[in-house]
Amino acid sequence: MRHTRTLSGRRALVVAASAGLLLPLTACGGDTKDGPSKPGTGSTASGPPAARLTVLAAASLTDVFKTAGTAYEKAHPGTRVAFSFAGSQELVAQVAQGSPADALITADTKSMDKVRADTGTPTVIARNRLVIATAEGNPLKVDELKDLADTRLKVVLAAPEVPAGKYSAKILDAQKITVKPVSQEPNVRAVLSKVELGEADAGLVYRTDAESAKDEVDAVEIPDAQNAVAAYPAATIKDSENAAAAAAFVAWLSSPEAQKILQDAGFQKP
């Protein structure tokens, strides 16, 4: 089995994710003291009204969306984008409870379907696949899915209600592999963090998550025939006070500029 050395990541993100916490709203540029989404305050030269957008996004989009948000703000002066990253199941619960936000991007279509009445028509903006994350150098020689059944290994998975957990269960069940995880995490970044911190020997994460952790983990590829494809739908939230600006941002995610950012980070075409 071929082992792929992962790309750059930051230890600071590890501690936050391992605690299983929802990352605070983080603007990609400019001053964020005005807080969450407010009505648009004018129009930009390019068309969409200026606004402070709050975007709920799956945890696996953490790194790439910071880059994408900066690019979007540069192209749309006057607009600020703040992201709230968490497991898709948590984001969907927030939308269902009426939390103020402007757009939603989940890591699976089933999560998005649960809030169909609260969102516009979703568009898939990217796809992803799972890999096995191990410590750097793969010291325990985890070569394939069936190795995760070894009870001597400390394996961590995303919880069953999390998209990454559902995808993991799907591929393990299909191969008739029984894994007894030492923990089940609230989002895929927390799974990655357990491996990065040495609290687990291996975990199933998205390829892009493993690629974000340079010098911390190796990624063991899973053959396509044994893998699952994760789809990322994006949609506006109907109660958004910035409807036009939110629609413009969601549409931009399918643009050539945004697609290049996503694909450079390892995401696959929609």
pLDDT over threshold 70, residue 45: no
The pLDDT tens digits of the residues spanning 214-240 come to: 789 999 999 999 999 999 999 999 999
> Could you give all domains of the chain from N- to C-terminal order, each with its CATH number?
3-8+128-229 (3.40.190.10), 21-127+231-264 (3.40.190.10)
Measuring CA to CA, which residue among 135, 19, 36 is closest to residue 81? 36
pLDDT over threshold 50, residue 201: yes
Output the pLDDT for position 48.
65
For range 175-192, the mean pLDDT:
97
Least confident of 23-27, 88-92, 257-261: 23-27
Output the pLDDT for position 214.
73
For range 80-87, the mean pLDDT:
97
For range 132-150, the mean pLDDT:
96
Output the pLDDT for position 50.
78
- Round to whole Å and give the CA distance between 79 and 23: 21
pLDDT over threshold 80, residue 199: yes
Instruction: Look at strands 80-86 and 49-58 and give their pairing.
Output: parallel
Question: How far, rounded to the nearest angstrom, does the alpha carbon of residue 20 sit from its chain's CA centroid?
Answer: 14
Average pLDDT in the chain: 86
Per-residue pLDDT band at 59 (split at 50, 70, 90): very high
85: CB partners within 8 A, 6+ apart = 22, 23, 57, 58, 59, 61, 62, 65, 189
